[in-house]
Structures are given as C-alpha cells and as structure tokens.
Structure 1
Amino acid sequence: MAIISDVSSDYFRIPLPVPLSDSTHGLIPNFELVTVTVRDADGAQGVGYTYTVGRNGRSVQAAANEIAELARHQDADLAEALWKSIWWAMHYGGRGGPTVLALSAFDMAIWDLKSKRANLPLWRMLGGYDPKVPVYAGGVDLDFPLDQLLRQAEGFIDQGFRAIKMKVGRKNLAEDVARVAAMREMLGDSFPLMVDANMKWSVDEAIRAARALAPFNPGWLEEPTIPDDIAGHARIVSEGGLPVATGENMRTIWEFQQMITIGRVSYPEPDVTNCGGITPFMKIAHLAEAHNLPVTSHGAHDVTVHLLAAVPNRSYLEAHGFGLEKYLAEPLRIEDGFAIAPERPGHGIEFDWNRLKALKA
C-alpha cells in the first residue's frame, strides 16, 4: 500500500516568448500552469499538471484543493478506485471544466508516483510498446504573417521535426487556402502537413473549407467545428473529403465513444491534462484501437510521449506550442521525426521550482 499523506497544488502564470494565436482564443500572451503534488507516507512523491490558455486557472486550483481533501489517507496504488471515487464525489458540481482539469493533474501525479515506486518509466508501467513516437510540431500561428509562418516551419525542421501542423480559420477562406498552399510548396508534396481550425466553422463552412484545402493533401483537418456536434462531424468526414481529428475539448471517455461511433472521427485526440488524466486517456486509446483507429494527442507532450509509447495504434504526438522547456530539467528529446520516451522512473519531468516560483501570481 502507498497511503497518501498529502496533496498540494500550485498556480503559475507563464509568459510566452512569442504571443500565439488561433481562431477561437485570439491572441495568447501567456498560459496558466496548475501543478499537483501527491506524497505518500514513505516519502515518495508524484507530480502532475494541467494548464489553460490564460483564463480560469484559479478555478482549476480550487478544484484541485477539493480533490486533495478527498484523496488524503487513501491508497495511491488504487488508481482506478481513486479516480472513480473522486469523479462521483465531484460529479454534481463538476463533470467537466475546472474539475476535470484538476482531476487530470491529480491522476497524472498518481501514475507518476506509482511508476516511481515500481522504478519504471511510465511508458513501461502502462504496458510498453515503442519508446520512439512519431511527433509533429504544433504551430499556434493563425495571425503570423506568411513569411514568419514559413520561417517557423524551417525552424521546426531544423529542430528535428518531420511533420508540422498549422492553424487555419481566418476570416476569409481564401487566405487559409493561400497560406496552406505556400506551406505545401515550401515543404514539398510528401511532407506531412496538418491543419487546425480550433472549432471556427459551422458544419457547412467546414465542408467547404475541407474541399478547398483537399488539393494540398493535409494529413487531417483538426477541430473543424464544435465538439458538441457529433452528427455534424459525421457529415464533415463523409462530405468534406479529409480525415478529421478532434478531442482536445472533450472531457470524458463517453464523449469519445460517441464521437468515434457516431461522429466517425478519423483521429481521436485526447489531452491528458483535461480528459481526466492518464487513467481515461489510456481507455480512450484502447477504445480507438478497438475501432481500428489511430490515436493522436493534444498538449503536454512531455507526459503524453509515455502514453503513446505504450499503445500500438499511436499516430503522431503533438509537440505543443505551450512547451515548458524553460522550466524543465530535461525537455522532450526529438530525433529525426521521433520523440523519445525517457527511461527515467515515472514520467521523468523535473520542474525548476525556483524558476517557476518567480512567476507565482
């Protein structure tokens, strides 16, 4: 048994060196980081985190403090039992939003603790498949001028990426088409290029956009419309002519089940920091496998590399624009198009707490 002696949380506002932008959130000059630390009676500890794109992080921390009260003195080895008891204890006032983000960070910390106690890297603890995971660079770049967009892509290639995602969803579809055409011309016909609309369009607009972008052979069209319109996704997949990825704004395994079976999504895309944590992320990955689908990811690439390294149906890992590289002892390792899951016990993330504490708001 690993009895939980303490659970603590912290909040930081992280400035971005270059303000980012997408079609839904607009300009993003910073993001909010909420960390959760779980300690057991033997002195071992695990760390988890979640984030926002600049708003509502204090609510997430408040929910994390509620979870702390529920988790103290419980057995950290029983990840499934802990998750279920907290889910139902918080369900009436939760089920989504800040509650699930906080539960995601807590569950991540539990798995980090479990893996450290077993002296295993997380990806091996979860079953183990292949530590080399295909990775793409996720640009958050909707408002970048074209020359800056192309320079960013060149920089990604220099860093070892062999696949790139760019933002679409500008006011004029013709601008999106021109920007994707320029990227395709620079990258070449065979270079994997994905596009992400961040829920910008109605279903009919998304179908028109997909048809307009199809000649440039994007690997997928991501979040073409709101995640709540499951039937609409089925129309976009069948009428738009492009594979569709979605899931970063979905909060439960049951939402993914409906999107896979009714919405016919091509690439389920959970985010471990907001889908409830590692426990449900792995279930979503296996659910996708049961439907003969690849699974991709959103955000938190330093942790998610372990999760995709543990499943045979993994597609690309997203290396996200909200990277924590400046605040980590050992950032994600990328080699010729692959992210390498580390062999350090747990998820292997070691925060530079002194540097983070200078950013406490």
Structure 2
Amino acid sequence: MLHKITSLTVRDVRFPTSLEQHGSDAMHTDPDYSVAYVVLDTDCGLKGFGLTFTVGKGTEIVVCAVEAVAGLVVGKSLQEIVSDFRGFYRLLTSDGQMRWLGPEKGVIHLAIAAVLNAVWDLWARAEGKPLWKLLVDMDPKQIVSCIDFRYITDALTEEEAVEILVKAQEGKQRREEHMLKEGYPAYTTSCAWLGYSDQLLKQLCTDALKSGWTKFKVKVGADLEDDKRRCRLMRQMIGPDNTLMIDANQRWDVAEAISWVSSLAEFKPLWVEEPTSPDDILGHAAISKALAPLGIGVATGEQCHNRVMFKQFLQASALQFVQIDSCRLGSVNENLAVLLMAHKFQVPVCPHAGGVGLCELVQHLILFDYICVSGSLGNRMCEYVDHLHEHFTSPVVIHDAHYMPPKDPGYSCEMLESSVQSHQYPEGDVWTRPAAGTEKKSK
C-alpha cells in the first residue's frame, strides 16, 4: 500500500464519432467523443488509470487543468491518500488559488475527477479487486470517511450516512450474489441519436429487441413535429409494453419544456431528461410538478456540477430520477455522497453513461448502490451506449440487457495503448490521415 506516486501523465484522446452522428442530440450536433486520459506511475511499477469525458474541442483545456493539479498528487503514497481520503479530496478541491476556477465545478472539477478516478483505480488494483468489490467490502465508516460532507449536512450527516450503510448490511451478500448471476438492468441510447435516419433507427431497434433490450431512450428537442414522428416510430418499433425515455439535452426554457413534453405524452415516456438548463433547480421543480399528472418524471444529473447542486435538486423535489456521472462529479468520493442523499430522499439513481469510458466506470458505482445502499432495483436502470468499448483493456460485459459485474482489478479505466496512440490529438494516425475529416471540428 505504500506505492509512492512518482509521475502523472495526461493525454488528449479523441474519437471522430461525429462522422457517423454517434452521440448527436439537440444541443451537441456533432460530438467527437473524447477523454483527458491520466496515468499514475508508482515506484513499485503498479499504475493507476483515470479519465474524464469530453466531446472534442476543449479537451486540451482539461489536460492543462490536470497538469495544474498534478503537483498535489505526485510524491504522495497511496497509503497516505486513502488513510485520509476526505482530506485528500479537499486538498484537490480547495487549493487556495485554483479553487477560484471552480469551486468544485467546470473544467477544474473535470480534471480533478480524472485524477481521482486514477487514484481509485490504483487503490483497487493494489487490493486486487474491481472497484465495485473494493467498495462493497469496505466497512461503512471507512466509506463515509472518503466523503466530504461540507455543505450537505443540512441534507445528510455523517451519522445518517453510516446508519444507511449499516442498515443495508442485511441482505448484502444475497444482493451481491444476485448481481454476479443476473447483472444490473440497463437501457440503451444507441438506437435513436438525433442524427440517425429512420431506416437506421428501425434497424437498430430491431437488433436491440432481438438481443433482449426492453428499455430505450430517444433524443428530442430540435423540432416538435419531427419529435412526434420519431417518438411514434420508436413506440411502434418497441411496442406498448417496453419502456421509453426522452432526452432534450437542455434545449428548452421552462414553459417550453412543459408544453413540448405534454405534446409527447401520448407516447408514454417514463421520463424527460435534461429538459432545461442543468443549473436551473427551481425550473426543474416547476417542470416536475407540471408533468406529474401526466405520469412523466424528470431526470437530470449528467451536467450537475457537484453534490451541493444534487442536494438542492433533491430538497426541491426537482427530479424523479438521479443521473450521476462518473466524471462530472469529483470521482467516486462525491458520487458516494449523492448515492447516499438519493437514498435518504427515496429517489432512484439511473446513471448517465453516454460517452467513451462512462459505461466502464459507472457500472461500478451502480453495483455498489444496489448492494450497499438502496437494496432496490425498482424503477432503476443504468444507461448503455455501444460505442468504443473495444478501446479498453476491460470493456463492459452486457448479457441480456444487463451489466455483468467486472472481474478485473481496478476501475476499468485503462485503455489499450495502441488506441491511445492512434487517437491522441492532434498527432495520432486517426487525426493526421486525410480520411479523418473531422479535424476542422475538433480544432
């Protein structure tokens, strides 16, 4: 556990997903799925891998932010960090000068997430366990010691957090065995990106249904009549009994969101995701109240800055589905706080995973949530997209529309070095050969 961290490297890795409109939505019309990819080296040879997700341009800014906080990590031992993980989290988020760039939000927080993801990966590898198992095997007080409760004690105290985790010890082994056998339920976003043609949507839905998928999400928000047409097509394809969700990616004002979603109510969506600005807590509350009689919930969180905003969303009854993100928040530490708050407020967690590497990471968190916090699968599912998993050394395993628990030690962050080199921006082969075609978009 000494494992002194001797160096930190970070690289800008981008995939030209915009070429085929993968990931396209009403707000992000031509994303190039990308990561700021962090590697921690130690004096014993063990490495830790971490990343944070972006959509192309600006990844170089996150890389600069990672380099700016590297000095707070290099030179420390893993034992030194994890023995006071709350203190280390606060060290990264409370630097007297860099804190001004956040605090605890934006580019600096994305960078801190990448670094902390690498630290958690290193810890899990040192213990020889996948991250979810590292968390599951922790004592409740040890888990709570990793969380910074500053600013959230009016919603959740340390004592309450310990009590939740202790109570969940009952049945924990049974739930772990259930996950190992059956996996965690997933839904797919890969059939209905906004830029996909009707023909492709129908083909992808047909294939997904044959593979056991029963929960589907469709992107909306650009044009109401087109949304009606595509939602009608989607509902026809998946049938009346399967689950449909809609995702507007922050496209509307509050009144517009209520009106627009009301017009789509006939297609019986379970939720509307990110209907307005991700910062507008009271706006989400108004939308939630207006849509409740229609049986449509509000989901958000992939661009929710930190635990403090999640606290307010929960206090204001502004969302019916919590969507944590493994890279938007301050890594595992801050996600633990949100999982515990969501449980206290009895709001189900359905993680965001639409991006390169996000499925690999967030599966660990939702497994922990079920086994050690919520103990429930009611109205719960984890997002899945089928892009770019081949670039990871331990890619996700999906069986019958369920995430199967990872078995390899670590946080599933490690990418194939060949993939990193070929997709590194701007010098990788993918970006220098004439066929790249999206260089102008990413620059």
Which of the five TM-score ranges fits, normalised by the shorter chain? over 0.9
Find the counterpart in structure 2 of residue 92 from structure 1. Answer: 100
Number of residue-to-residue matches in the alignment: 358
Find the counterpart in structure 2 of residue 215 from structure 1. Answer: 266
The alignment partner of 1:288 has SS state of helix
Decide which structure has greater strand share.
1
- Residues 117-128 of structure 1 mapped to structure 2, 5 A cutoff: 117-127=126-136
Distance 2:209 2:51 in 1: 28
Which deviates more from structure 2 when the two are superposed, residues 57-66 or residues 341-350? 341-350
Letter in 1 for 2:101: G
Find the counterpart in structure 2 of residue 292 from structure 1. Answer: 346
- What's the CA shift for 1:27? 2.2
**1:305 aligned onto 2:363:** yes
Which deviates more from structure 2 when the two are superposed, residues 61-70 or residues 40-49? 40-49
The alignment partner of 1:265 has SS state of coil
Equivalent position to 2:422, from 354, 358, 361:
358
**1:115 aligned onto 2:138:** no
- What's the CA shift for 1:257? 0.5
- What's the CA shift for 1:125? 1.1
Contact 1:301 1:318 in 2 (8 A): yes
In structure 2, relative to structure 1, the CA distance for the partners of 1:283 and 1:42 (3 Å cut) is same
What are the Cα deviations for residues 131-173 of structure 1, in whole angstroms up to 9, with x where unaligned? Answer: 32111112361132322222222233344433211100022x1
Contact 1:100 1:276 in 2 (8 A): yes
- What's the CA shift for 1:59? 0.5
The alignment partner of 2:325 has SS state of coil
- Residues 317-332 of structure 1 mapped to structure 2, 5 A cutoff: 317-320=382-385, 323-332=387-396
Letter in 2 for 1:34: A
Find the counterpart in structure 1 of residue 309 from structure 2. Answer: 255
In structure 2, relative to structure 1, the CA distance for the partners of 1:54 and 1:42 (3 Å cut) is same
**1:24 aligned onto 2:89:** no
Listed as ranges, the gaps of 5+ residues in structure 1 are none
- What's the CA shift for 1:122? 0.8
What are the Cα deviations for residues 312-338 of structure 1, in whole angstroms up to 9, with x where unaligned? Answer: 2362111136x3323123421111121
Find the counterpart in structure 2 of residue 281 from structure 1. Answer: 335
Distance 1:70 1:7 in 2: 10
Which deviates more from structure 2 when the two are superposed, residues 31-40 or residues 150-159? 150-159
Equivalent position to 1:347, from 407, 411, 415:
411
Find the counterpart in structure 1 of residue 207 from structure 2. Answer: 155
Contact 2:209 2:238 in 1 (8 A): no
Distance 2:37 2:212 in 1: 29
- What's the CA shift for 1:209? 2.0
**1:174 aligned onto 2:254:** no
Find the counterpart in structure 1 of residue 6 from structure 2. Answer: 5
Find the counterpart in structure 1 of residue 39 from structure 2. Answer: 37
Which deviates more from structure 2 when the two are superposed, residues 243-252 or residues 92-101? 92-101
Distance 2:331 2:271 in 1: 25
Letter in 2 for 1:26: T
Letter in 2 for 1:67: V
Distance 1:24 1:181 in 2: 22
Q: Which has the larger radius of gyration?
A: 2
Find the counterpart in structure 2 of residue 230 from structure 1. Answer: 281
Find the counterpart in structure 1 of residue 87 from structure 2. Answer: 81
Find the counterpart in structure 2 of residue 191 from structure 1. Answer: 242
Find the counterpart in structure 1 of residue 170 from structure 2. Answer: none
Distance 1:341 1:246 in 2: 25
Once superposed, which parts of structure 1, at least 4 consecutive aligned residues long, lie more than 6 Å away?
none
Which deviates more from structure 2 when the two are superposed, residues 120-129 or residues 305-314? 120-129
Equivalent position to 1:70, from 69, 72, 75:
72
In structure 2, relative to structure 1, the CA distance for the partners of 1:262 and 1:324 (3 Å cut) is same
Letter in 2 for 1:226: S
- What's the CA shift for 1:263? 4.6
Distance 1:239 1:94 in 2: 33
What are the Cα deviations for residues 301-358 of structure 1, in whole angstroms up to 9, with x where unaligned? Answer: 111111100012362111136x332312342111112111212111234421123202
Letter in 2 for 1:304: V
Equivalent position to 2:256, from 201, 205, 208:
205
Decide which structure has greater helix share.
2
Contact 1:79 1:111 in 2 (8 A): no
Which deviates more from structure 2 when the two are superposed, residues 15-24 or residues 282-291? 15-24
Letter in 1 for 2:343: E
Task: Using structure 2 for the length normalisation, give the TM-score.
Answer: 0.77
The alignment partner of 1:231 has SS state of helix
The alignment partner of 2:222 has SS state of coil
Contact 1:232 1:263 in 2 (8 A): no
Distance 1:102 1:159 in 2: 37
- What's the CA shift for 1:191? 0.8
Contact 1:101 1:275 in 2 (8 A): yes
The alignment partner of 1:126 has SS state of helix
Contact 2:51 2:413 in 1 (8 A): no
Contact 2:50 2:414 in 1 (8 A): no
- What's the CA shift for 1:227? 1.3
In structure 2, relative to structure 1, the CA distance for the partners of 1:232 and 1:263 (3 Å cut) is farther
CA-based RMSD: 1.8
Letter in 1 for 2:8: V
Listed as ranges, the gaps of 5+ residues in structure 2 are 138-174, 427-443
Contact 2:109 2:330 in 1 (8 A): yes
Which deviates more from structure 2 when the two are superposed, residues 1-10 or residues 60-69? 1-10
The alignment partner of 1:48 has SS state of strand
